[in-house]
Amino acid sequence: MRKILCLSIIFSTLFATTINIPADYSTIQEGIDASVDGDTVLVAQGIYYEHLILEKSIVLASHAINDDLGSDWLNNENITGTIISGAQEPSDPNKGSCLIIRG
């Protein structure tokens, strides 16, 4: 059983895709929807007015994931410059939070 689990993890890593927002999809939710378990949705700097639902085992990150973050990580441009804002009224009343994680 342990061997099967290890092989499953290795194969999912080998075939994982990085989806770039906004280069590949204009919204983060579109990127999440297009992803499969094991993928990475990588968000470029900017302000994204979205209400996201995450129901997959993916990595959702800014480009800070590639930075060498030290003790001064709060001043990292990729962290401070990548904002997901739920400030606008959602069109769907079931999406009132900025990010909902299920599953």
State the pLDDT at residue 75: 87
State the pLDDT at residue 15: 77
Q: Which helix (H) or strand (E) holds 41?
A: strand 40-43
State the pLDDT at residue 93: 61
| pTM (2 d.p.) | 0.78
State the pLDDT at residue 91: 66
Range of the domain at 26: 2-101
d(CA 83, CA 76): 13
Kindly give the residue spans of alpha helices, DSSP state H, lying in 1-76: 2-14, 28-34
State the pLDDT at residue 96: 64
Query: Cα angle at 79 between 81 and 18, to 5 degrees?
Result: 95
State the pLDDT at residue 13: 57
In the predicted model, residues of the chain with pLDDT beneath 70 are 1-14, 89-96
Report the domain count for the chain: 1
Contact 75, 55 (CB under 8 A): no
State the pLDDT at residue 94: 60
